[in-house]
Structure 1
């Protein structure tokens, strides 16, 4: 009997270690998703869905994470908008089921493209507005030092616009999948 108890204790410890290891990785996912403007709670939700062997309902998610159903619903909607989770249909199941998008490259493409495109377009627009204002001041001033400063700043703005236009081309390469011609996807099995 003592051997059985010892074996059960070791098994319980291994299960605990297993769960802690998964939780640690889920925390890492949540932390890194903040780079894309995703809150840690939504990142943990994503990680929990990713490690779930079966699609989950909002009730399942609430139980797994201890968050309110409203928070789960809001988080799932955000992840759906970012194409990081997808609904699943199961005959006979009345509640909505969700699972993570299996293709992380697709999720990254959707998330990266939306975030960076919005930022680049906004910065191009702001740079253009600043350029017009500076050109107006340049045309109206007689102060030579101010003219030199404006000309330097106009060159800086042109450089910034060039960068943001490049960034938009980069985003287009990600969206169209051309990026994978330069940086191919690689399966773990291919590395062996």
Structure 2
């Protein structure tokens, strides 16, 4: 059924409900570090009954093509929307990734993996520098401080190694054996 088959009252009521949901999605996208307008764009695509072009979205959202393009690119990079092909269309079309579990997994795997890799590198390099300092420092207060810093950093590395395993479990789908999709 399409929207043009609804009575004006039904159409108005449906749009009111959808607008409330789109507003909530937009506000909550802050958790993902996504601007409100891009969250609204995601909400628009969520309710779209067919893939949309940037022009279609711009008309619905009253946004500039540049803003629309930036928002869509963000959502594409986060794998929250997909570019689709449609016979006879020369313009790029976009639709929401409907598997929200996969969207969550992709988003956090992308973000966490970057943080894990960066932090492990920094901590391991710093532990190596601490080892060099420990070898060149006599026993005393500085030695104890260096040992304590080394202990703390080693704990952090173990945490990031655990987080890396969690990311692997998310990407492989193993997480859903422990916490099934409902």
- TM interval, shorter chain, is 0.7 to 0.9
> Unaligned stretches of 5+ in structure 1?
1-7, 187-192
1:172-191 matches, within 5 Å, as: 172-186=168-182
Q: Any unmatched runs of 5+ in structure 2?
A: 1-6
Using the TM superposition, give the Cα deviation of residue 17 of structure 1 relative to its aligned residue in structure 2, in angstroms. 4.9
Which one of the candidate residues 86, 90, 103 is aligned to 2:86? 90
Are the equivalent residues in 2 in contact too, given 1:86–1:99 (CA < 8 A)?
Answer: yes
Matched length:
176
For 1:1-192, list aligned pairs within 5 A.
12=9, 15-142=11-138, 144-186=140-182
TM-score, structure 2 length as denominator? 0.86
Who wins on radius of gyration, i.e. which is larger? 1
Q: Which moved more, 1:168-177 or 1:128-137?
A: 128-137
* Structure 1 residue 30 displacement after superposition: 2.4
Q: Matches of 1:88 and 1:98 in 2, distance apart?
A: 6
- The two structures have a TM-score, normalised by structure 1, of 0.82
Higher mean alpha-carbon deviation, 163-172 vs 26-35, is at 26-35
What RMSD in Å do the two structures reach over aligned CA positions? 2.0
